[in-house]
A and B are shown apart, each in its own frame.
Chain A
Amino acid sequence: MRENKKKNGNKTKEFIVESLKIPRDIVMGDSVLTVTGNASAYIENYRGILEYNNCHILIQGKNCQICFEGKGLHIDYYTNEDMKISGCISCVQYM
């Protein structure tokens, strides 16, 4: 029952987003990822860090998990709004 309600809610939200052309990150809470080359990445709309080491950072978004892989990964800053990851990023994966 609850899952059905959730699915219906998501469908309604998607319908609103589609018809009113409202950004998905505001209504659906999708994460916004801005990657500059392979040296840095800005992430907005996330819930928290799940795993963090020099070659692997896993971030929990609202709808999915984002995984950064690379070398010398480093979090420059981490706030409630956004975070910056720098280092040599080799792979970004949505899970």
Chain B
Amino acid sequence: MNLCCNHNILLWNIEKCGAESYNMNISLKGYFQIRPFVRKTGTKVAVLGRYGLPFFVPRLKLHIFFLLGIVGMFLFLFWTTGYIWKIDIEGNQVITTEQITDFLLENEVQIGSSKRSVSVEDLEKEIRNEFSLVTWTSVQIEGTRLWIQIKENDKLIETEEKSEEKSHLAASKDGKITSIITRNGVPLVKEGDEVKKGDILVSGQVPIYNDAGEIVKYHLYQADADVYLECDYQFCVSMPIAYILHNYTGNEYKSIYFKVGEKELVFPNYHNKENCDITESHRQVQALEQWFLPIFYGMDIYKEYNPVMTNYTKEEVKQHFNQEINTFVSSLEEKGVQFIEKDVKIEKNDSDWVATATFHVIEKTGESVSIDSYEMDEENGQ
């Protein structure tokens, strides 16, 4: 052992076994070098086992197809890393994932596209140009995954176009004026007046009088006022009397799903079975965290049911309409509409339930009408 050590022959895992024998590991090169020392010291060397690459590789030559298989597998894995096998879209709330996927498809980015053909920066620009709602986007290729992160504009910027155009303020609905505060222009109506849609509430033409009280000329302004109108809203919604209830029979059919690239294999195939609800649970094969392969597997479960025509109960109808009406009410409330009275009628005809709701409300009114166009309309009317 000391001679080996002095001649830089590495020995490891030296164990004493028996009275005058030791077990130890030595490299193949070292084994051929120790012969003179063995002769010199009169030691007997016996090989108990052969381990490691120098003994494994010659044995592999006997299993050439196994070796080729391994090499082929690595080549296949290397080849698949050049393509995108998964697209993740995150952060979209208003824009649907389908919209983005369709857009990507138009730009020839889809599952199976070559990574080289996808220009990340161009794609980011394209997304921002295509969807005006997107304020920020990040496109990353991680392994074989295309990861698109999107940030949408939370609040639509309400840009009130404050044009300097001279205009009247006209009623946007029929109703009764409850209050009017004029900032600019000449008010033509007062509190309590009944107005029709399109009537001028505040005129943008301000007359200039001379000392004799005669109109000399008109100064034109953009009429501006807070006008509140008492008016009615009608809301009508309907729903069918009956629906098809899925009465499950308890029979379940399971089929194994397998997909490689675009080829799908379902075994056994129950696609032609009628009256079945299908639950699909598919997973993509993932070699590493970010390394997805174009192989999908999973299970499709077909639950058989008997279709039974069932009428909605009164409670269900009431609940459905309540939900619809509440959505409508909250959309009006967002606009600052004040509710005075609410009247809801639910009626049943041959095929549908119909709810008619009338809301008596106070809302801010007034829409700008260009003075020129209004005069033109007046003239045409005459």
Q: Is the CB of A49 within 8 A of B1?
A: yes
Q: Which of A47, A48, A78, A80 contacts B14 (CB 8 A)?
A: A78
Decide if B351 is an interface residue (CB 8 Å cutoff): no
Q: Which of these, A53, A54, A79, contacts B5 with CB under 8 Å?
A: A79
The answer to whether A48 touches B5, judged by C-beta atoms less than 8 angstroms apart, is: yes
Interface centre among A47, A49, A54, A79 (most CB of B within 10 A): A79
Within 8 A of B (CB), among A21-51: 47-49
Task: Give CA–CA (A74, B15) in the complex, Å.
Answer: 6
Number of interface residues, chain A, beta carbon within 8 A: 13
Chain B CB within 8 A of A3 CB: no
Please determine whether B5 and A78 come into contact, CB atoms closer than 8 angstroms.
yes
Which residue of the partner chain B has the closest CB to A77?
B12
Produce 1/0 per residue, B10-53, CB < 8 A to A.
11111110000010000000000000000000000000000000
A52 contacts across to B, CB distance below 8 A: 1, 14, 16, 22
Q: How far is the CA of A90 from the CA of B13 in the complex (A)?
A: 21
Partner of A79, one of B10, B13, B16, B22: B10
Interface of A is mostly: strand
A residues less than 8 Å from B159 (CB atoms):
none
List, in ascending order, chain A residues with CB within 8 A of B8's CB.
Answer: 79-80
**Beta-carbon contacts under 8 Å, A50-95 to B:** 52-54, 74-80
B99 contacts chain A at the CB level, 8 A cutoff: no
Is there an interface contact between A77 and B10, defined as CB atoms closer than 8 Å? yes
Q: A54 and B16: CB pair below 8 A?
A: yes
Contacts of A53 in B (CB 8 A): 16
Q: Is B2 an interface residue when CB atoms closer than 8 A count as contact?
A: yes
Q: Which residue of B lies closest to A53 (CB)?
A: B16
Determine the chain B residues whose CB is within 8 A of the CB of A80 once the complex forms.
5-6, 8
Q: Which residue of B lies closest to A48 (CB)?
A: B2
Of the residues A48, A49, A76, contact of B12 by C-beta under 8 Å: A76
- Shortest C-beta distance, B335 to chain A (Å), equals 77
- Closest B residue to A83 by CB, please name it: B5
Q: Are B22 and A77 in contact (CB under 8 A)?
A: no
Contacts of B15 in A (CB 8 A): 74-75
Whether A78 contacts B16 by the Cβ 8 Å rule is no
List A contacts of B6 (CB < 8 A): 48, 80
Chain B residues with CB under 8 Å of A47's CB are 2
* B11 partner residues in chain A, CB cutoff 8 A: 75, 77-79
Q: How far is the CB of A20 from chain B (nearest CB, A)?
A: 30
Residue in chain B with minimal CB distance to A79: B10
- What 0/1 pattern do residues 206 to 226 of B give for CB contact below 8 A with A? 000000000000000000000
The smallest beta-carbon distance between B200 and chain A, in angstroms, is 97
Q: Is the CB of B22 within 8 A of A78?
A: no
Output the least CB separation between B183 and chain A (Å): 87
By beta carbon, the residue of chain A nearest B1 is: A49
How far, in angstroms, from A76 to B25 measured CA to CA in the complex? Answer: 10
Inter-chain contacts of A75 with B (CB < 8 A): 11-15
Q: Which residues of B contact A54 (CB under 8 A)?
A: 16
Rounded to whole Å, the gap between the CB of A42 and the closest CB of chain B is: 14
Closest approach, in angstroms, between the C-beta of B14 and any C-beta of chain A? 4
Interchain CA distance A79-B7 in the complex, whole Å? 9
Considering only CB atoms, which chain B residue lies closest to A73 in the complex? B16
Contacts of B13 in A (CB 8 A): 74-77
Give the residues from 313 to 331 in chain B that come closer than 8 angstroms, CB to CB, to chain A. none
A49 contact set on B, CB distance < 8 A? 1-2
A-B contact pairs, 11 of them (CB 8 A): A52-B1, A52-B14, A74-B13, A74-B14, A75-B15, A76-B12, A76-B13, A78-B1, A78-B5, A78-B10, A79-B8
Taking beta carbons and an 8 Å cutoff, which residues of B are in contact with A?
1-2, 4-6, 8, 10-16, 22
**Extra inter-chain contacts (18) besides given A75-B13, A76-B14, CB under 8 Å:** A48-B6, A49-B1, A52-B1, A52-B22, A53-B16, A74-B13, A75-B11, A75-B12, A75-B15, A76-B12, A77-B10, A77-B12, A78-B4, A78-B5, A78-B10, A78-B11, A79-B8, A79-B11
